[in-house]
Amino acid sequence: VIAGQPPASPDDAGLLREGDAVLLIDRKQRVYMRTLRPGSRVSVRGRPILAEALIGRPDGSTLRTERGETFLVLRPTYAELIPHLPRRAQPIYPKDVGIVLLWGDIGPGMRVIEIGVGPGALTLGLLRALGTTGTLVSYERREEFAAAAQENVRRFHGPAPNWMVRVADAALGLVEIGVDRIVIDVPEPWTLLDSVATSLRAGGVLTCFLPTVLQVKQLVDSLTAHDGFAAVRTIETLLRHWDVSGRSIRPAHRMVAHTGFLVFARRLAPGVRAAELTPRRPYSSASTDDDIASTELEHDEGGDPRQDLGED
Ligand SMILES: C[S@@+](CC[C@H](N)C(=O)[O-])C[C@H]1O[C@@H](n2cnc3c(N)ncnc32)[C@H](O)[C@@H]1O
Protein backbone atom coordinates (compact mmCIF):
# COMPACT_ATOMS: atom_id res chain seq x y z
CA VAL A 1 0.00 0.00 0.00
CA ILE A 2 1.32 3.44 -0.89
CA ALA A 3 0.87 6.92 0.55
CA GLY A 4 -2.31 7.79 -1.32
CA GLN A 5 -4.23 4.64 -0.40
CA PRO A 6 -6.80 4.62 2.40
CA PRO A 7 -5.67 3.03 5.68
CA ALA A 8 -7.12 -0.32 6.75
CA SER A 9 -8.78 1.46 9.68
CA PRO A 10 -8.84 5.08 10.90
CA ASP A 11 -6.77 4.01 13.92
CA ASP A 12 -3.71 3.12 11.91
CA ALA A 13 -3.83 6.04 9.47
CA GLY A 14 -0.25 7.12 9.02
CA LEU A 15 1.25 4.13 10.83
CA LEU A 16 3.63 1.88 8.93
CA ARG A 17 2.27 -1.63 8.56
CA GLU A 18 3.62 -5.06 7.81
CA GLY A 19 3.90 -5.49 4.02
CA ASP A 20 4.16 -1.73 3.36
CA ALA A 21 6.65 -0.48 0.82
CA VAL A 22 8.73 2.32 2.29
CA LEU A 23 11.28 4.71 0.92
CA LEU A 24 14.50 5.04 2.90
CA ILE A 25 16.04 8.42 2.08
CA ASP A 26 19.61 9.13 3.18
CA ARG A 27 21.42 12.39 3.93
CA LYS A 28 22.40 12.78 0.27
CA GLN A 29 18.75 12.35 -0.81
CA ARG A 30 19.48 8.89 -2.24
CA VAL A 31 16.28 6.85 -2.23
CA TYR A 32 15.89 3.11 -1.61
CA MET A 33 12.55 1.30 -1.66
CA ARG A 34 12.14 -1.69 0.67
CA THR A 35 9.24 -3.77 2.01
CA LEU A 36 8.53 -4.08 5.74
CA ARG A 37 8.31 -7.73 6.78
CA PRO A 38 8.48 -8.97 10.36
CA GLY A 39 11.59 -10.94 11.16
CA SER A 40 13.37 -9.98 7.97
CA ARG A 41 16.30 -7.63 7.61
CA VAL A 42 16.60 -5.41 4.58
CA SER A 43 19.90 -4.09 3.37
CA VAL A 44 20.85 -0.73 1.92
CA ARG A 45 24.21 -0.42 0.14
CA GLY A 46 25.13 -3.84 1.54
CA ARG A 47 24.38 -2.81 5.14
CA PRO A 48 21.58 -4.49 7.09
CA ILE A 49 18.70 -2.43 8.47
CA LEU A 50 16.21 -3.79 10.97
CA ALA A 51 13.07 -2.87 9.05
CA GLU A 52 10.85 -4.70 11.55
CA ALA A 53 11.48 -1.89 14.03
CA LEU A 54 9.53 0.44 11.76
CA ILE A 55 6.25 -1.51 11.87
CA GLY A 56 3.74 0.48 13.95
CA ARG A 57 5.78 3.70 13.79
CA PRO A 58 4.41 6.78 12.03
CA ASP A 59 4.96 7.37 8.32
CA GLY A 60 7.60 10.10 8.22
CA SER A 61 9.74 8.63 11.02
CA THR A 62 13.51 8.41 10.99
CA LEU A 63 15.60 5.28 11.42
CA ARG A 64 19.12 5.25 12.82
CA THR A 65 21.28 2.32 11.76
CA GLU A 66 23.84 0.51 13.93
CA ARG A 67 26.52 2.46 12.03
CA GLY A 68 24.95 5.79 13.00
CA GLU A 69 23.44 6.61 9.60
CA THR A 70 19.99 8.23 9.68
CA PHE A 71 17.30 7.55 7.06
CA LEU A 72 13.99 9.33 6.60
CA VAL A 73 11.27 6.71 6.19
CA LEU A 74 8.22 7.48 4.04
CA ARG A 75 5.52 5.52 2.26
CA PRO A 76 6.01 6.32 -1.43
CA THR A 77 3.52 8.52 -3.21
CA TYR A 78 2.31 7.23 -6.59
CA ALA A 79 4.96 9.28 -8.43
CA GLU A 80 7.69 8.01 -6.10
CA LEU A 81 6.59 4.40 -6.41
CA ILE A 82 6.54 4.01 -10.19
CA PRO A 83 10.31 4.29 -10.82
CA HIS A 84 10.77 1.46 -8.27
CA LEU A 85 7.90 -0.71 -9.53
CA PRO A 86 8.98 -4.30 -10.22
CA ARG A 87 8.76 -4.56 -14.00
CA ARG A 88 9.65 -6.55 -17.08
CA ALA A 89 7.93 -4.17 -19.51
CA GLN A 90 8.19 -0.40 -19.75
CA PRO A 91 5.67 1.41 -17.52
CA ILE A 92 4.07 4.76 -18.35
CA TYR A 93 5.72 7.33 -16.09
CA PRO A 94 3.74 9.48 -13.64
CA LYS A 95 4.11 12.69 -15.66
CA ASP A 96 2.27 10.98 -18.52
CA VAL A 97 -0.18 9.08 -16.29
CA GLY A 98 -1.29 12.43 -14.83
CA ILE A 99 -2.09 13.68 -18.33
CA VAL A 100 -3.78 10.40 -19.30
CA LEU A 101 -6.12 10.70 -16.30
CA LEU A 102 -7.13 14.33 -16.86
CA TRP A 103 -6.93 14.83 -20.62
CA GLY A 104 -8.31 11.32 -21.02
CA ASP A 105 -11.04 12.51 -18.64
CA ILE A 106 -11.10 9.48 -16.36
CA GLY A 107 -12.95 9.71 -13.05
CA PRO A 108 -15.08 7.97 -10.44
CA GLY A 109 -17.96 5.82 -11.64
CA MET A 110 -16.71 5.34 -15.19
CA ARG A 111 -16.35 2.07 -17.10
CA VAL A 112 -12.83 1.96 -18.49
CA ILE A 113 -10.81 -0.47 -20.62
CA GLU A 114 -7.02 -0.53 -20.55
CA ILE A 115 -5.12 -2.38 -23.30
CA GLY A 116 -1.55 -3.47 -22.51
CA VAL A 117 -1.09 -3.90 -18.75
CA GLY A 118 2.69 -4.49 -18.54
CA PRO A 119 3.76 -4.02 -14.90
CA GLY A 120 0.53 -2.18 -14.09
CA ALA A 121 1.82 1.36 -13.51
CA LEU A 122 -1.08 2.91 -15.41
CA THR A 123 -3.44 0.36 -13.85
CA LEU A 124 -2.55 1.69 -10.39
CA GLY A 125 -3.28 5.26 -11.52
CA LEU A 126 -6.55 4.25 -13.19
CA LEU A 127 -7.77 2.36 -10.12
CA ARG A 128 -7.12 5.39 -7.93
CA ALA A 129 -8.93 7.71 -10.32
CA LEU A 130 -11.92 5.39 -10.67
CA GLY A 131 -12.39 4.95 -6.93
CA THR A 132 -14.78 2.30 -5.72
CA THR A 133 -17.61 3.27 -8.07
CA GLY A 134 -15.82 2.87 -11.41
CA THR A 135 -14.79 -0.36 -13.10
CA LEU A 136 -11.63 -1.26 -14.99
CA VAL A 137 -11.05 -4.14 -17.41
CA SER A 138 -7.42 -4.61 -18.48
CA TYR A 139 -6.43 -6.63 -21.55
CA GLU A 140 -2.96 -8.23 -21.52
CA ARG A 141 -1.87 -10.91 -23.96
CA ARG A 142 1.04 -12.27 -21.89
CA GLU A 143 -0.03 -14.30 -18.91
CA GLU A 144 3.17 -13.66 -16.95
CA PHE A 145 2.78 -9.89 -17.34
CA ALA A 146 -0.84 -10.09 -16.23
CA ALA A 147 0.24 -12.04 -13.13
CA ALA A 148 3.03 -9.54 -12.35
CA ALA A 149 0.59 -6.62 -12.67
CA GLN A 150 -1.87 -8.39 -10.37
CA GLU A 151 0.87 -8.78 -7.80
CA ASN A 152 1.82 -5.09 -8.09
CA VAL A 153 -1.82 -4.05 -7.65
CA ARG A 154 -2.16 -6.36 -4.63
CA ARG A 155 0.98 -4.91 -3.03
CA PHE A 156 0.67 -1.25 -3.90
CA HIS A 157 -3.06 -0.65 -4.23
CA GLY A 158 -4.73 -3.33 -2.14
CA PRO A 159 -7.97 -5.17 -2.89
CA ALA A 160 -9.50 -4.15 -6.23
CA PRO A 161 -12.87 -5.88 -6.61
CA ASN A 162 -13.76 -3.46 -9.43
CA TRP A 163 -10.79 -4.58 -11.60
CA MET A 164 -10.66 -7.52 -14.00
CA VAL A 165 -7.72 -8.68 -16.11
CA ARG A 166 -8.47 -10.47 -19.37
CA VAL A 167 -5.49 -12.45 -20.64
CA ALA A 168 -6.24 -11.98 -24.32
CA ASP A 169 -5.04 -10.32 -27.49
CA ALA A 170 -7.15 -7.17 -27.78
CA ALA A 171 -6.85 -7.42 -31.59
CA LEU A 172 -9.29 -10.33 -31.39
CA GLY A 173 -11.98 -7.99 -30.04
CA LEU A 174 -13.13 -6.42 -26.78
CA VAL A 175 -15.94 -8.09 -24.84
CA GLU A 176 -17.29 -4.93 -23.17
CA ILE A 177 -19.71 -2.65 -25.02
CA GLY A 178 -20.63 0.97 -24.23
CA VAL A 179 -17.55 1.78 -22.13
CA ASP A 180 -16.76 5.41 -21.27
CA ARG A 181 -12.99 5.47 -21.81
CA ILE A 182 -10.31 3.31 -23.42
CA VAL A 183 -6.57 3.70 -22.82
CA ILE A 184 -4.10 1.87 -25.06
CA ASP A 185 -0.39 1.28 -24.45
CA VAL A 186 0.65 -1.26 -27.10
CA PRO A 187 3.02 -0.77 -30.06
CA GLU A 188 0.37 -0.94 -32.82
CA PRO A 189 -2.85 0.68 -31.54
CA TRP A 190 -4.09 1.34 -35.11
CA THR A 191 -4.79 -2.40 -35.44
CA LEU A 192 -7.34 -2.07 -32.61
CA LEU A 193 -9.45 0.81 -33.93
CA ASP A 194 -12.38 -1.30 -35.15
CA SER A 195 -12.54 -3.10 -31.78
CA VAL A 196 -12.30 0.23 -29.92
CA ALA A 197 -15.03 1.78 -32.10
CA THR A 198 -17.34 -1.14 -31.27
CA SER A 199 -16.65 -0.97 -27.55
CA LEU A 200 -16.51 2.79 -26.84
CA ARG A 201 -19.77 4.66 -26.27
CA ALA A 202 -20.65 7.73 -28.34
CA GLY A 203 -18.56 10.67 -27.14
CA GLY A 204 -16.19 8.33 -25.27
CA VAL A 205 -12.49 9.23 -25.11
CA LEU A 206 -9.71 7.09 -26.56
CA THR A 207 -6.20 7.75 -25.23
CA CYS A 208 -3.07 6.14 -26.72
CA PHE A 209 0.50 6.32 -25.41
CA LEU A 210 3.20 5.98 -28.09
CA PRO A 211 6.98 6.24 -27.71
CA THR A 212 7.90 7.20 -31.29
CA VAL A 213 6.74 9.74 -33.81
CA LEU A 214 6.30 7.25 -36.67
CA GLN A 215 3.78 5.43 -34.47
CA VAL A 216 2.02 8.75 -33.88
CA LYS A 217 1.83 9.36 -37.61
CA GLN A 218 0.42 5.93 -38.34
CA LEU A 219 -2.15 6.19 -35.56
CA VAL A 220 -3.30 9.72 -36.41
CA ASP A 221 -3.59 8.79 -40.11
CA SER A 222 -5.63 5.71 -39.16
CA LEU A 223 -7.89 7.66 -36.77
CA THR A 224 -8.44 10.38 -39.34
CA ALA A 225 -9.31 7.83 -42.02
CA HIS A 226 -11.63 5.88 -39.68
CA ASP A 227 -15.31 6.75 -39.75
CA GLY A 228 -15.83 6.32 -36.02
CA PHE A 229 -13.46 8.94 -34.58
CA ALA A 230 -12.91 12.71 -34.58
CA ALA A 231 -11.26 15.47 -32.51
CA VAL A 232 -7.85 13.82 -32.76
CA ARG A 233 -5.13 15.63 -30.88
CA THR A 234 -1.51 14.83 -29.98
CA ILE A 235 0.52 16.16 -27.09
CA GLU A 236 3.85 15.61 -25.38
CA THR A 237 4.77 16.57 -21.82
CA LEU A 238 8.21 17.69 -20.67
CA LEU A 239 8.91 17.74 -16.95
CA ARG A 240 12.01 19.35 -15.51
CA HIS A 241 13.14 19.07 -11.90
CA TRP A 242 14.79 22.03 -10.18
CA ASP A 243 17.57 22.06 -7.64
CA VAL A 244 16.72 24.60 -4.95
CA SER A 245 19.47 25.00 -2.40
CA GLY A 246 20.30 28.31 -0.71
CA ARG A 247 20.99 30.82 -3.47
CA SER A 248 21.71 28.11 -6.00
CA ILE A 249 18.37 27.74 -7.71
CA ARG A 250 18.37 26.26 -11.18
CA PRO A 251 16.98 23.44 -13.31
CA ALA A 252 18.53 20.05 -12.50
CA HIS A 253 21.34 19.14 -14.89
CA ARG A 254 19.69 15.90 -15.88
CA MET A 255 16.18 15.26 -17.10
CA VAL A 256 14.23 12.48 -18.73
CA ALA A 257 14.04 14.20 -22.10
CA HIS A 258 11.63 11.79 -23.73
CA THR A 259 9.05 9.24 -22.66
CA GLY A 260 6.31 9.27 -25.28
CA PHE A 261 3.45 11.03 -27.02
CA LEU A 262 -0.23 10.95 -26.16
CA VAL A 263 -2.88 10.82 -28.86
CA PHE A 264 -6.54 11.43 -27.94
CA ALA A 265 -9.68 10.94 -30.02
CA ARG A 266 -13.43 11.00 -29.46
CA ARG A 267 -15.93 8.34 -30.57
CA LEU A 268 -18.56 9.74 -32.92
CA ALA A 269 -22.27 9.09 -32.36
CA PRO A 270 -23.88 6.28 -34.39
CA GLY A 271 -24.81 7.41 -37.86
CA VAL A 272 -22.38 10.36 -37.88
CA ARG A 273 -19.72 9.95 -40.52
CA ALA A 274 -16.33 11.51 -39.88
CA ALA A 275 -16.13 12.26 -43.60
CA GLU A 276 -18.86 14.91 -43.07
CA LEU A 277 -16.45 16.91 -40.92
CA THR A 278 -14.41 19.42 -42.89
CA PRO A 279 -11.57 20.06 -42.88
CA ARG A 280 -10.47 16.58 -41.77
CA ARG A 281 -7.40 17.48 -39.88
CA PRO A 282 -6.30 17.05 -36.26
CA TYR A 283 -8.31 19.02 -33.71
CA SER A 284 -6.77 22.29 -32.50
CA SER A 285 -5.15 21.98 -29.09
CA ALA A 286 -6.56 25.38 -28.05
CA SER A 287 -8.19 24.87 -24.67
CA THR A 288 -8.94 28.32 -23.24
CA ASP A 289 -10.42 31.49 -24.68
CA ASP A 290 -6.96 33.06 -24.60
CA ASP A 291 -5.48 30.09 -26.43
CA ILE A 292 -8.22 30.23 -29.01
CA ALA A 293 -7.74 33.98 -29.46
CA SER A 294 -3.99 33.63 -29.86
CA THR A 295 -4.39 30.69 -32.22
CA GLU A 296 -6.72 32.74 -34.39
CA LEU A 297 -4.28 35.66 -34.27
CA GLU A 298 -1.42 33.44 -35.37
CA HIS A 299 -3.51 32.17 -38.25
CA ASP A 300 -4.59 35.68 -39.22
CA GLU A 301 -1.09 37.08 -39.14
CA GLY A 302 1.06 34.27 -40.32
CA GLY A 303 -1.32 31.81 -41.90
CA ASP A 304 -1.52 28.18 -40.95
CA PRO A 305 1.96 26.63 -41.30
CA ARG A 306 0.32 23.37 -42.36
CA GLN A 307 -0.85 25.06 -45.54
CA ASP A 308 2.78 25.62 -46.46
CA LEU A 309 3.23 21.88 -46.29
CA GLY A 310 0.31 21.35 -48.60
CA GLU A 311 -1.69 19.49 -45.98
CA ASP A 312 -4.93 21.40 -46.28
C1 LIG B 1 4.53 -1.07 -22.56
S2 LIG B 1 3.64 -2.35 -21.82
C3 LIG B 1 2.33 -1.52 -20.95
C4 LIG B 1 2.81 -0.79 -19.72
C5 LIG B 1 1.67 -0.23 -18.87
N6 LIG B 1 0.86 0.72 -19.59
C7 LIG B 1 2.18 0.40 -17.59
O8 LIG B 1 2.03 1.62 -17.42
O9 LIG B 1 2.77 -0.29 -16.76
C10 LIG B 1 2.78 -3.01 -23.21
C11 LIG B 1 2.02 -4.27 -22.87
O12 LIG B 1 1.06 -4.51 -23.90
C13 LIG B 1 0.93 -5.90 -24.09
N14 LIG B 1 0.32 -6.06 -25.42
C15 LIG B 1 0.88 -5.76 -26.63
N16 LIG B 1 0.01 -5.97 -27.62
C17 LIG B 1 -1.15 -6.40 -27.04
C18 LIG B 1 -2.43 -6.78 -27.53
N19 LIG B 1 -2.70 -6.77 -28.86
N20 LIG B 1 -3.40 -7.17 -26.66
C21 LIG B 1 -3.13 -7.20 -25.32
N22 LIG B 1 -1.93 -6.85 -24.80
C23 LIG B 1 -0.96 -6.46 -25.63
C24 LIG B 1 2.35 -6.39 -23.92
O25 LIG B 1 2.39 -7.78 -23.61
C26 LIG B 1 2.87 -5.51 -22.79
O27 LIG B 1 2.67 -6.11 -21.54
* Cβ contact 21:86 at 8 Å: no
What is the spatial distance between Cα 236 and Cα 255, in angstroms, rounded to a whole number?
15
Pocket test for ligand 1, best of 186, 199, 209, 215 (most atoms within 8 A of CB): 186
Listed in order, strand segments (DSSP E) in 131-178 are 135-140, 163-167
Q: Is the CB of 260 under 6 A from ligand 1?
A: no
β-bridge pairing 242-245 and 248-251: antiparallel
Determine the pLDDT at residue 284.
60
User: Is the C-beta atom of 114 inside 6 A of ligand 1?
Assistant: no
Question: How much is the pLDDT for 176?
Answer: 98
Q: What averages of pLDDT result for each successive group of 10 residues across the chain (312 residues)?
A: 58 81 93 87 80 89 88 95 92 98 98 98 98 98 97 95 98 97 98 98 98 98 96 97 96 96 97 76 56 46 44 39
For the CA atoms of 189, 140, 20, 1, the dihedral, rounded to the nearest 10 degrees, stands at 60
